[in-house]
Amino acid sequence: MGDSRNQDLDGAMPEKVATLVSSGPEETKAHGRALAARLRRGDCVALVGDLGSGKTCLVQGICDRLLVADPVTSPTFILINEYVGQDASGAPLPVYHFDLYRLDGPDALFELGVDDYLYGCGICLIEWADHAGDLLPEGTLYVQIDTTGDRSRRLTLTYPE
């Protein structure tokens, strides 16, 4: 895993960047399980990548680690799937899985009352997060997934220090 620190020229908060490589869907899910171990109530994960890049695979791994019992599928036509997982103490943990692919823009997301999810006590996992504009909370973890081969992917995680 590569690791570097970046700072904007305007003196903005430094970010931590990590790069992971995946050789296929199972390894992408494994990265999701590892990432889930670091997530806490109120965290938001923004996933960006082309169609078929592995965003849902990563979400499935995260949900697996959070002990979500329901099948995890992309909510492309309904925008949000709500699951119940468990936090580290075994207490119920709301998990919200968004798919913004068909969203008309940030205004449409705002009209859905997304603040209740983004600023609540659950974990938000947002596919096609680039469609959300600037509505995502400060401290959001961004995961860019790039296709590097038929099955291989590069995951670039960026989050504030």
The pLDDT score that the predictor gives to residue 110 is 77
Domain presence at residue 1 = no
* Domain hosting residue 155, numbered range: 30-160
Domain presence at residue 80 = yes
Average pLDDT over residues 129-145: 92
Average pLDDT over residues 129-148: 93
Helix (H, G, I), strand (E, B) or coil at 47: strand
Which tens digits make up the pLDDT trace of 81-136? 999 999 999 999 999 999 999 887 777 777 777 888 998 899 999 999 998 888 89
CATH number at residue 92: 3.40.50.300
Beta strands in the chain (DSSP E): 2-6, 15-22, 44-49, 80-86, 92-99, 123-127, 141-147, 153-160
Give the pTM.
0.88
Average pLDDT over residues 5-20: 64
Which tens digits make up the pLDDT trace of 33-90? 999 999 999 999 999 999 999 999 999 999 999 999 999 998 877 889 999 999 999 9
Domain presence at residue 23 = no
